[in-house]
Amino acid sequence: MSLPIWILTGPTACGKTDIAVNIAETLGAEIVSADSMLVYCGMDIGTEKPLPEVRNKIRHHLIDIVEPWEEYSVGRYARDFESVIHEVHQRGKPFIVVGGTALYLKAIMNGLFEGPSADWEYRNYLKSVVVKQGSGFLHKMLADVDPETARKLHFNDQKRIIRALEVFKKTGIKISSFQTQFGRNNPRYDCIIVAINYDRDILYKRIEARVDKMFHRGLVNEVQTLLKNQMGLSKQASQALGYKEVIDFFNGKYTIPQANDMIKRNTRRFAKRQMTWFRSFSNIHWVHAQADDDVKYLSTKVIELFTNNKPLLKGTIL
């Protein structure tokens, strides 16, 4: 029998963390993160990581589990997630999955394609091809070896095109062949996913307020501390939204006001990409929030959507 799992998501700055905390307090639940940056220790302000006092009151999982110089993949997340839900389920404790990393959510809901490890030399070569000949040429390279995958990917989707070419180079097998099971429902879980959504103008104001708050709380000092560590930052951590732009400030590319503006711009673009992902989920339920909706009200709406689709029983995984 599949395990029922409640998932709360939405674009960055939609307030899902506060809503999840409110729900966890109401139902006596724990929280499992589905955020690719919350895994890193020391990256607190730029990720809007739940404060220590909140985590002391409500148990959180899959937060602060790797050092910022380590790489962390969706495959590792899937394994860690399996381990966590097994442990929590054994204790008969409910929990809610919360986060906006679409690949992590896809891994939970649809299973996971685990291909070969990264080949950074080949990736850098492919990136140089883009610089010299454009994204269209890279897309044509993929179409020559894996036309099925090429048809599914926009020619500007450089990251996934590079990964598909990398898989073919390392294995001689099309990534589309590996992924035949990916996209189907994961038979182990019965997932109900609820997403918070605001009108674009409201969400953008929330993003701007969030970024300003991050700077006020000391984002620049946090990044400086991370950069001083002799172990450095992993490629993944150094490219994190908010951190990359401040690193660029330290490298002389931006002033502080320019870095602030770039984070706002890039966060708006990221939120747009997230919404594209979420709209592709067939089993998603939307909460269309208004500017004056408070956390308690939105929490009630989310719980209603969860419980209307799956009755809440003792020991159920939320």
User: pLDDT tens per residue, the chain (318 residues)?
Assistant: 578 899 999 999 999 999 999 999 999 999 999 999 999 999 999 999 999 999 999 999 999 999 999 999 888 999 999 999 999 989 999 999 999 999 899 889 987 666 677 788 888 898 898 888 888 888 988 888 888 888 888 878 888 898 888 888 877 777 776 654 444 566 678 899 999 999 999 999 999 999 999 999 999 999 999 999 999 999 999 999 999 999 999 999 999 999 999 999 999 999 999 999 999 888 899 999 999 999 999 999 999 999 987 533 333 334
Residues 191-244: tens digit of each pLDDT? 999 999 999 999 999 999 999 999 999 999 999 999 999 999 999 999 999 999
pTM given for the model: 0.80
CB atoms within 10 A of CB 274: 19
Closest among 220, 207, 298 to 23, alpha carbons compared? 298
pLDDT > 90: percent of the chain: 66
Closest among 198, 185, 19, 43 to 96, alpha carbons compared? 19
Q: Which domains does the chain have, with CATH numbers?
A: 3-112+183-309 (3.40.50.300), 120-181 (1.10.20.140)
Residues 219-229: tens digit of each pLDDT? 999 999 999 99
Cβ atoms of 160 and 252 closer than 8 Å: no
- What's the number of CA atoms in the CB half-sphere (13 Å) around residue 36? 23
